[in-house]
Structure 1
Amino acid sequence: MQDAEINDCPMPEPFRAKITITLFAAWLFYLGFVTRVMFAPLMPAIEQDLKISHSQAGSLFLMMSIGYLIAPLCSGLISSKINHRGTLNISAWAVGLALIPFAFVKNIWIIRLLLMIIGLAAGIHLPSAIATITAEIKKEDWGKALSVHQSAPPLSFVSAPLIAALLMNWLTWRIVLLTWSAAALLTALAYSLKGKGGDFPGRIPNLGNVKYIAGKPSFWIMVILFAMAMGGNAGIYAMLPLFLVTDHGMELTKANTLIGLSQLSGLIMVFAAGWITDKIGQKPAMAVTLLTAGISTFLLGILKDQWLVIIIFIQPALLSSFFLRHLVLCHALLRHP
């Protein structure tokens, strides 16, 4: 890093002194993440209202994922121009504003474009948030701060279906999204006026470093494994409400409540995963996890009634434990391929 860039960075302080920055970043992350996953529990109502097929419904999630894929590729360029705080600000405003047109838009191509914007806007948050937290807080407190920030995804998976189940008792899916838009925009306004931290520029990706990492076979192994796990986790989560409602005749509120509660098993399993991994090792633990997760995902498609409910709770627990092992093993393989 150049001297000018070092001087731009803040002096790290203890976690207690910067807890407000961490909590604000975590709340922004939570709002953006819920915005992304909220469409899954609403999809049966969206599909019925727009009169679209299951494949068209799946394409909506694909467009959001494409936006989220593009985000890390351009986040460094954005933050280098407007600082990390500006990037977090833009992300919050864009997520909230992109939800407003859903109140009246019916054209599926416009909806696809809006979902790509949401994926892009939500995706640029994470790199700038991590950079802000690790620059503002002392290294010995990174674990606490990052744990607070990274609690947003599992909490989103649990709460989004429950929020949808509650609000859909009185509101249409369009008004649910408009309500969430209001919450996101109020938070964006609060961050614009009171938010602190991240007042330093990001760095444009170094092509040499990218080439070095991409040249490691272990990196691509981790990419493939992570993609498989994400498909079984976020992919199944996205289509599961639609599957339960249309194929199993489950009432939408019941389906969303069931899915929301099932995600709690993932939170619990993360703690057990560390103990199991210590006992049998990283690679055997990952192999067993992927095997059992694959079997449980297969069973989702063939089981019925109470057996289906049981496997709905088991499947996310297995995949959640995989991500913890993946992060540790990925770090180890990249250092010692």
Structure 2
Amino acid sequence: MPRTTIQHSALPFRSAFPYLCFLALIFYVNSVERALLSPLLVSIQEEFHFSYTLTTSLLVIRSLGFSLSLFANSFLATHFTHRRIITASIFFVGASFTLLSTTTTYLQLQLGLLFFGLSAGLYFPSGMAMLASLVKKEDISKAFSIHELAPNLGFITAPFIVEIMLSFTDWRGTMRYMGIAAMLLAILFALTSKGGYTHGAPPRFSTVKRILTKRNTWIFFTLVGIALTLETAPYYVLPLFLVDQQNMTSAEANNLLAMSRLATPLMALSAGFISTITGVKPLLFSGLLLSAVSLALMATAHGTLLSAAIIAQPLFPAILFPVIFMVFSDFFPPEEQSLVLAITMPFVGFIGSGIMPNFLGYCGDIFSFETGFGILSALTIASIAALFITPASD
């Protein structure tokens, strides 16, 4: 029996603006609850007496769930509207945080974070589809700019939220209250939001083999993979590094972590303008090189210079992302782009937000976090080679 879908025309930007802000708020809650795990890892490690490797392996489990659901969205969207998927995503993100607040064993933490990742990963593809359904084509770039403020604000505010919450509760209470807030927001979203009434089309596997054998796919995979690693991996381990190995208090570490992200929204917004002056390849080269330098300083410096390197390090990935996706739009025709993202992004997310933070934690146990930052600096230098591979023209 054919499915009927209620059609809703796009709104003028001014009319759509409140609904865009509400969708950005949903994305912010999704992002901030992922970012909260970084400053909370210190408290979790202290209570359970985990090693750095075991503590950061929790990020691997969360990223595994996130990557699986990011890919599964393509199939779920053929049966459910994007609006329903978004509502379910943010509701179960909140439910999983509430459950995590009751955990008493490592296995329970793993299962709770797997559930959290599976819930959170459903959002992004459906969020993009809902955003596109709200506004007219000529307003998409403005809508996207509003939406993309959410993850940057999530990185900035997460350490402050933790410090405020820890002043009157513990890490369990922080997760419980944030989880309840997310569930209430999901209910409000279901009742008042507009857009997202469409279904998605399933991925066409007939083109997967051809995409995987294209040189451009692997250039994009390398660039976006190292950019995501640079953005997330240091962020997740810095509180452990600063508190345990640099003798900072939790409040000092969280303040420095938040300060390091304050300028990233401006850097991301300015990247498009800078690239028109410098060109794409020089800007990518400079961003990767400066990322490597800042990581090398994090591996060797102390005191004020170390703090300066920590503040500088996230600025360069913020420039890289918009430019990499400009390259992406040139590399692949529109009809292939969604499938390329469905193939690459789950693996990129798993490596950048899971495997690499865990690797840095392993280095913290066996050698030192500084060793891990040095190795990541060397990998960043190596990734520059992707800029000198000639893109395929087909």
Shorter chain as denominator, the TM-score bin is over 0.9
Q: Which residue of 2 aligns with 1:285?
A: 283
Q: Which residue of 2 aligns with 1:262?
A: 260
Q: Which residue of 2 aligns with 1:170?
A: 168
User: Quick one: distance in 1 between partners of 2:163 and 2:310?
Assistant: 17
Shift of 1:290: 0.7
Which ranges in structure 1 are unaligned for 5 or more consecutive residues?
none
The residue type paired with residue 92 of structure 1 is I
Deviations 1:209-246 (A, max 9, x none): 44443332112111111111211210110111111000
Match of 2:25 among 24, 27, 41: 27
Deviations 1:276-317 (A, max 9, x none): 322221112111211110121122122111111101111001
Shift of 1:22: 1.5
Shift of 1:193: 2.4
Q: Which residue of 2 aligns with 1:59?
A: 57
Contact 1:9–1:135 (CA under 8 A) maintained in structure 2: no
Matched, 1:240 2:238: yes
Q: Secondary structure at the match of 1:150?
A: helix
Q: Secondary structure at the match of 2:198?
A: coil
User: Quick one: distance in 1 between partners of 2:270 and 2:74?
Assistant: 36
Q: Which residue of 1 aligns with 2:135?
A: 137
Alignment of 1:97-176 (within 5 A): 97-176=95-174
Which ranges in structure 2 are unaligned for 5 or more consecutive residues?
334-392
More displaced 10-residue stretch of structure 1: 308-317 or 166-175: 166-175
Contact 1:277–1:325 (CA under 8 A) maintained in structure 2: yes
Q: Secondary structure at the match of 1:151?
A: helix
Alignment of 1:298-313 (within 5 A): 298-313=296-311
Match of 1:315 among 284, 293, 313: 313
User: Quick one: distance in 1 between partners of 2:201 and 2:180?
Assistant: 32
Contact 2:98–2:177 (CA under 8 A) maintained in structure 1: no
Matched, 1:186 2:178: no
User: Quick one: distance in 1 between partners of 2:197 and 2:287?
Assistant: 41
Contact 1:15–1:138 (CA under 8 A) maintained in structure 2: yes
User: Quick one: distance in 2 between partners of 1:319 and 1:5?
Assistant: 43
Contact 1:229–1:322 (CA under 8 A) maintained in structure 2: yes
Q: Which residue of 2 aligns with 1:69?
A: 67
Matched, 1:205 2:199: no
Deviations 1:7-52 (A, max 9, x none): 7543222222222331221111111111111010111111001111
User: Quick one: distance in 1 between partners of 2:253 and 2:105?
Assistant: 27
User: Quick one: distance in 2 between partners of 1:34 and 1:317?
Assistant: 19
State the TM-score, normalizing by the size of structure 1: 0.94
More displaced 10-residue stretch of structure 1: 53-62 or 132-141: 132-141
User: Quick one: distance in 2 between partners of 1:23 and 1:268?
Assistant: 19
Contact 1:265–1:313 (CA under 8 A) maintained in structure 2: no
User: Quick one: distance in 2 between partners of 1:309 and 1:240?
Assistant: 11
Q: Secondary structure at the match of 1:269?
A: helix
State the TM-score, normalizing by the size of structure 2: 0.81
Percent of matched pairs sharing the same residue:
28
Count of residues in correspondence between the two structures: 334
Q: 1:5 to 1:140 in 2, by over 3 A?
A: farther
Q: Which residue of 2 aligns with 1:81?
A: 79
Deviations 1:166-192 (A, max 9, x none): 222222111011111121011011122
Q: Which residue of 2 aligns with 1:11?
A: 9
Q: 1:210 to 1:16 in 2, by over 3 A?
A: farther
Contact 2:101–2:172 (CA under 8 A) maintained in structure 1: yes
Q: Secondary structure at the match of 1:82?
A: coil
Q: Secondary structure at the match of 1:308?
A: helix
Q: 1:174 to 1:94 in 2, by over 3 A?
A: same
The residue type paired with residue 143 of structure 2 is A
Contact 2:134–2:194 (CA under 8 A) maintained in structure 1: no
Contact 2:20–2:134 (CA under 8 A) maintained in structure 1: no
Q: Which residue of 2 aligns with 1:91?
A: 89
Shift of 1:114: 1.4
User: Quick one: distance in 2 between partners of 1:31 and 1:43?
Assistant: 19
User: Quick one: distance in 2 between partners of 1:277 and 1:21?
Assistant: 31
Contact 1:216–1:334 (CA under 8 A) maintained in structure 2: no
Measured on the aligned residues, the alpha-carbon RMSD in Å equals: 1.8
Deviations 1:115-136 (A, max 9, x none): 1221221111111111112123
Q: 1:301 to 1:170 in 2, by over 3 A?
A: farther
User: Quick one: distance in 2 between partners of 1:5 and 1:286?
Assistant: 45
Q: 1:220 to 1:9 in 2, by over 3 A?
A: farther
User: Quick one: distance in 2 between partners of 1:9 and 1:326?
Assistant: 34
Contact 1:69–1:123 (CA under 8 A) maintained in structure 2: yes
Contact 1:79–1:202 (CA under 8 A) maintained in structure 2: yes
